[in-house]
Amino acid sequence: MESQEKLQENTDEQAVVFGALADPTRLKLVKLLCRQRDADALCVNALAGFLGVTQSAVSQHLRVLRAIGLVKGERRGYHIHYFVNQDVLEKCRKLTSTALSMKELSEEQSCQEYCPERRTEDVSSP
């Protein structure tokens, strides 16, 4: 039971991050914003030009990224300029790294408990 709890740990948060980054345009948007400094934050018009998509498409992608806190906006004159929230970016890095870690499973986490084929192989082995 403890292994299931360990597996479930952060899974919902990890799924949200992977979901937000699953769209290729959204991932390009994050990469582009990661290269900018806060002072060089970009407005929707500039982002649309860099990405080769419409302003409305950029706005929809930014909405998803703002919802998870990864992107922040700051009003400058008539426009809102966007940049990556560095604290949330670091949290996202940790969540994805943990989800994709290659740690060895302990004996209690192995599939022997759940895989009938494995149990019979182990019993029949000399």
Backbone angles phi, psi at 65, to 5 degrees: -70, -35
Q: How much is the pLDDT for 109?
A: 53
pLDDT of residue 101: 78
Question: How many structural domains does the chain have?
Answer: 1
Can you say whether residue 36 is alpha, beta or left, with left for phi > 0 and alpha for psi between -120 and 50 degrees? Answer: beta
Helix axes 24-34, 11-21, angle to 10 degrees: 90
Return the CATH number at 72. Answer: 1.10.10.10
Question: What is residue 2's predicted lDDT score, i.e. its pLDDT?
Answer: 47
Q: Residue 93: its pLDDT value, please?
A: 82
Q: What is the pLDDT of residue 1?
A: 42
CA angle 47, 49, 31 (to 5 degrees): 40
* DSSP labels, 56-81: HHHHHHHHHHHHTTSEEEEEETTEEE
Q: Walk along the chain (126 residues) and give the pLDDT tens digit of each residue.
A: 445 565 566 778 888 888 888 999 999 999 999 888 766 789 999 999 999 999 999 999 999 999 999 999 999 899 999 999 888 888 888 888 878 876 655 555 556 666 666 555 555 555
Domain that residue 107 falls in: 2-124
